[in-house]
Structure 1
Amino acid sequence: MNIKLKASNIILILIGSIIFSFGIINFNMAYHLTEGGFTGIALILYHLFGISPALMNLIFNIPLFIIGYKFLGRTSFLYTLIGSLSSSFFLYIFEKFPFNFSLAEQDLFLVALLGGVMIGIGLGIILRAGGTTGGVDIIARVTKKEFNWPMGQVIFIFDCIVLVITYFALGDIRITLYTLICVFVGGKIIDIVQDAGYTARGALIISDEYNQIGDAINTVLERGVTQISAHGQYSKTERPMLYCVVPKNEISRLRQLIHAIDPHAFVSMLEVHEVHGEGFTLDENKQLIQQH
């Protein structure tokens, strides 16, 4: 089981590296944009001196591998190593065999949008599989572990520094702003990809028929229900509140079930991005990854 899981993660990291590298070479590099992190620095050097981004990506990561090996766990380090080496390899491949989309200079907004989407999808898949492409991600993980600095803030600060360098190095505010769009879109897509498979709904239910509703959820939907002690501020009465988590494709059934028992029940739906445990990650027949 563990071997299979590791193999699937490696495959996902390789797929993510292909998508990430494709976006970097065929959009950012081809249309003179840069990127955040060390990849952005590699692209700046390419635009200034024609140095291969694949080569620079690998060179930048060598000292970071040493740091990562010392501070990160073995599994995280190995996945990061695979992600870094594979992304450098596929950057090299797409450098040698680029695609020509023939987008005009005035289409830079479209270029930034497509580049951000491709980079975001690729990095999202890699991160979801437990890997990274190295670079500032390693620094962020180390500072989080050693100093408890938020990873997102460390990455954001570094990206801002790279954008400033982009402006002064290339002397083009237009390129800098389009790069900012690309980085912003990429970040949003990363969040979407990482959360997509886990999206579910948490239901908070307040009803006088809480016992009957709870039993029905247990038997009909075969979902666990938790009773939470609640106190009504207006009514000044104690009443149990039910909480349960269901995948998106069961929300309609849950609503119908509650309405059939108590049409006046108060139901609040919360978005849930990640669920672990029995009935979800421990039960293959009820995975939240089902998408309908």
Structure 2
Amino acid sequence: MRSIWKEIKLSSVLLLLGGSALLAFGLYNIHSISGVTEGGILGLTLLLEHWFGISPSFSGFLLTLVCYFLGWKLLGKLFLVYSFISAIGFSVFYGIFEQFDPLFPEIAEKPLLAAVVGALFVGVSVGICVRVGGAPTGDDALAMSLSSVLPVDIQWIYLASDLVVLLASLSYIPFSRIMYSLLTVLLSGQIIGIMQKIKLPGFAEEGELSQS
């Protein structure tokens, strides 16, 4: 078996970093100031904090660790390396963007626009990372893992996990706010699914990652 380091491609790394930078830019300039909540792991950590007082710093770390472990078992070492690159890239780029004021502060008063634009940023950025074979967040690792063993397209796995969390979040978040969140996760998931089908010469298909 070839060394894992020989399988890492510079073009893949550059795409992972580019996708991570775009994700960090969108989350900082759109989601962080719009008040539109999230589904998936982030939404679940907020739910656990509200009802059980469990800090997101603990629950988020634990849940993400479980998702990456599942991805490693199902998709292999190359997935883990690419995910590490994209996750670190996201953290670094987000830290950089935090040094500046948000570029679109007025979007906080336009939740519908924030939901649509935010979905575009998340869908395209995560779609790039997932298509190359890396998961910038635990949600992406879970979706990639399940799509590798289930006869279901990845966008529907995203939607299902987000819906479960958003429906549970109705226990403490107003319905009107949840609807904007539903719109953004629906759009972003579909965009990720579309990008997952784009053929990129030289890049492994998702199923091939498990052979690494």
TM-score calculated relative to the size of structure 2:
0.73
1:156: which partner in 2?
159
The answer to which structure has the higher helix fraction is 2
1:177: which partner in 2?
179
**Root mean square deviation of aligned Cα:** 3.4
- Aligned partner letter, 2:77: R
> Are residue 62 (structure 1) and residue 65 (structure 2) matched?
yes
2:74 to 71, 74, 77: 71
> Are residue 31 (structure 1) and residue 34 (structure 2) matched?
yes
2:118 to 115, 119, 125: 115
In 2: Cα distance, 1:6 partner to 1:84 partner: 17
1:140 to 124, 139, 143: 143
Q: Percent same amino acid among aligned pairs?
A: 27
- Aligned partner letter, 2:73: K
1:101: which partner in 2?
104
2:169 to 161, 166, 171: 166
The one-character-per-residue Cα deviations of 1:93-137 (angstroms, maximum 9, x if unpaired) are 444545141215541111111111111111111122221224233
What SS is found at the alignment partner of 2:171? helix
In 1: Cα distance, 2:84 partner to 2:113 partner: 32
Query: How many residues were matched structurally?
Result: 195
> Are residue 84 (structure 1) and residue 79 (structure 2) matched?
no
In 1: Cα distance, 2:100 partner to 2:45 partner: 19
Q: Which has the larger radius of gyration?
A: 1
Contact 2:23 2:126 in 1 (8 A): yes
Structure ranking higher on relative contact order (CA contacts 8 Å, 6+ apart):
2
Contact 1:34 1:44 in 2 (8 A): no
Unaligned runs of 5+ in 1: 199-273, 276-280, 283-292
Residue 176 of structure 1: how far off its partner (Å): 0.7
In 1: Cα distance, 2:93 partner to 2:46 partner: 15
1:187: which partner in 2?
189
In 2: Cα distance, 1:182 partner to 1:88 partner: 22
In 2: Cα distance, 1:47 partner to 1:105 partner: 23
The answer to which structure has the higher strand fraction is 1
1:40: which partner in 2?
43
In 2: Cα distance, 1:44 partner to 1:14 partner: 30
2:131 to 109, 128, 131: 128
Q: 1:156 to 1:184 in 2, by over 3 A?
A: closer
Contact 2:23 2:90 in 1 (8 A): yes
Contact 2:130 2:144 in 1 (8 A): no
Q: 1:154 to 1:182 in 2, by over 3 A?
A: closer
Contact 1:13 1:131 in 2 (8 A): yes
Unaligned runs of 5+ in 2: 203-212
In 1: Cα distance, 2:77 partner to 2:63 partner: 21
Residue 177 of structure 1: how far off its partner (Å): 0.7
Q: 1:166 to 1:90 in 2, by over 3 A?
A: farther
Residue 174 of structure 1: how far off its partner (Å): 1.6
1:271: which partner in 2?
none
Residue 19 of structure 1: how far off its partner (Å): 0.9
Residue 143 of structure 1: how far off its partner (Å): 3.7
